[in-house]
Chain A
Amino acid sequence: MATSPLFIHLDQMFIILRDWLVGFLPAALRPAAGVVLGVIAIVCVFPGLFALTTVFERKGLGRIQNRLGPNRVGPYGLFQPIADGIKSLTKEDIVPLSANAVVHFFAPLVLVVTVFMGFAVLPMGRNMVLVDMDAGLLFFFAMGAATELSVFMAGWSSRNKYSLLGAMRAVAQMISYEVVLLLSSVAVVMITGSLSLPKIVAAQNTYTGIFPHWYIFTPWGLAGFVMYAIAATAETNRSPFDLPEGESELVAGYHTEYSGFKFALFFLGEYLAMFSISGLGTTLFLGGWSAPFSFLTFIPSWIWFFSKVMLSIFVFIWMRGTLPRLRQDQLMNFAWKFCLPFTLLDLIVTALWRFMGEGWLRWVVSTAILAAAYVVMGRAGMRSEHFGPRRYRYAE
């Protein structure tokens, strides 16, 4: 079934379209034109997805909070992003008098450009990767590191104490959780033996019976995925880690002094970072574009990739609607005293898994080590924090 001509045409639809379009050009220009078309596709698809996600998020949050959400613009409020876009384009662009104009101008640009670069190495379907780099994972994290600087630039150049505080919080948080993010993906690299993302997907795209060999279905993979998901939430400043822009504490953090289209760029950058980091998580742990069961491989690969990304986005929205915000010291303690040691232990378990060979023994050993560490570290951490039932004096 997976080799029928119809399936191949559906699966490789975008590649065939690109080759057909490029075919009109002289042979010397073809490789460059192919890359340009790929870039255009990324620059169109993900902001489109961003527009849809804003409606989805506002309606989802509305439902969680027992209200309707936007429902006035278009059917079911679906044209809300267009209204929002026109509004942010026509709003006045206010730059504070004391702001550092050049840095203030460049901050949103640096953010959006570096976030877009991350998409270049994500395999979004079979053969659908813009640049198949030998060190793709490293490239992704290098681009992620560059976004921290743009957040700092925005907060510092605004000359506003809320902005500066928000930027300092954001940078401290991003640096702390970036360590966890990197180390949790190192486990995948250790097993696959490659930093190239298409190779990591190919390593997971095999089946035992009907079940796939995704890394999340192994003990070390599950632990790594949980750590990755926590770090990814913190890295994108999403609730419950949204301290840098906590509107009730810091007005809006580092983008307080941005208005109009520059603010929209920050908003876009934040959502694009969510897409790219979900895409990377999908690639590393959830099998990328491979189907969840062997009898579902007739559905084109890119549908699977985007379904998994949108599922992760849904989980992001769900968490935002249900979890309260952490305190700054809790955030730091959690990163350095729980996540980091647990991720390091996960690396050791991964090495054990790699060298214990096939068999049921490695399942038992790695599960036992990880579960015991989780329980012991969790208990110890809770005890040192003196958590317990909270007593409210005024209610007695």
Chain B
Amino acid sequence: MNVVFYLLAALTIGGGLAAVLLKHLVHCALATTVAFAGLAMLFLQLDAQFAGFAQILVYIGAVAILIVFAILLTRGSELPKDGVFSRSWFVGLAIAAGVFAVLAWAVLQSVRAVPQQMAVPAVSVRDIGNALVGRYVLPLEIVALLLTAATIGAVIVAMHEKERPKS
């Protein structure tokens, strides 16, 4: 753990907090982007180039843009009069704390289950590619099918209904 890690962690957590606490929806979306960027740099700091760049490409290039588009198209960018904070915020807090507890427990368990490896495993992009089309090809294809189905579904939902000829 060094200075860079703490800086990136501060950036990520700051972005996340800003996304929750800011009042303007578009500002929240942009703060989420900062958190995404921080996460990507954490991946890069761990020498996981592929994960880091994919994080930037997918989350900043696509997900953030999608969120922003959704906000603008639904006119959510105007401030509501009674504030943006939900009255049942403590329920959300409890759920978030629960999820965090489960994840933290799993991470701490994994240290015990898998003995500490001293050598840093060198995983190149080529290895990831080979694994994706070799061992994990079935999950990959299932995800691809799911995404295709989702895209077709979105197109069908968005399609104009043709007026039926009057009989």
Interface of A toward B, CB cutoff 8 Å: 100, 103, 133-135, 138-139, 141-146, 148-149, 152-153, 156, 164, 168, 171, 175, 178, 193-195
Contact = CB atoms under 8 A, between A and B. Distances in A.
A171 B64 CA distance: 12
Interface in B64-84: 64-65, 68-69, 72, 77
B77 to A, nearest CB: 8
18 contacts: A103-B27, A135-B49, A135-B50, A138-B50, A139-B49, A141-B57, A142-B61, A146-B56, A146-B60, A148-B61, A148-B65, A149-B65, A152-B65, A153-B30, A164-B72, A171-B65, A171-B69, A175-B62
B65 A134 contact: no
Given A138-B125, A146-B61, A152-B65, 18 more contacts: A100-B26, A103-B27, A134-B125, A142-B54, A142-B61, A145-B61, A149-B33, A149-B60, A149-B65, A152-B68, A156-B26, A156-B77, A164-B72, A168-B72, A171-B65, A175-B65, A193-B126, A195-B125
Given A142-B53, A168-B72, A134 B124 contact: yes
B57 A145 contact: yes
Nearest to B50: A135
What 10 pairs between A and B have smallest CB-CB spacing? A145-B61, A142-B56, A138-B53, A142-B53, A142-B57, A135-B49, A135-B125, A145-B57, A146-B60, A134-B125
A197 to B, nearest CB: 13
A175 B113 CA distance: 43
A103 B30 contact: yes
Contact of B57 (A138, A152, A195): A138
Contacts of B53: 135, 138-139, 141-142
Contacts of A145: 56-57, 60-62
Interface residues of B, number: 22
Contacts of A135: 49-50, 53, 125
Nearest to A182: B57
Contacts of B54: 138, 142
Nearest to B54: A138
A168 B68 CA distance: 10
A138 B124 CA distance: 13
Contacts of B50: 135, 138
B65 to A, nearest CB: 6
Contacts of A103: 26-27, 30
A144 B61 CA distance: 8
A354 B125 CA distance: 20
A71 B43 CA distance: 52
Contacts of A149: 30, 33, 60-61, 64-65, 68
Residue picked from B49, B61, B77, B125, most chain A C-beta under 10 Å: B61
Nearest to A102: B27
Contacts of A153: 30
B38 to A, nearest CB: 13
B10 to A, nearest CB: 19
B41 to A, nearest CB: 12
B49 to A, nearest CB: 5
A134 B30 CA distance: 30
B57 A156 contact: no
A49 B33 CA distance: 32
A156 B56 contact: no
Contacts of B72: 156, 164, 168
Nearest to A194: B126
Contacts of A148: 61, 65
A134 B26 CA distance: 35
Contacts of A193: 126
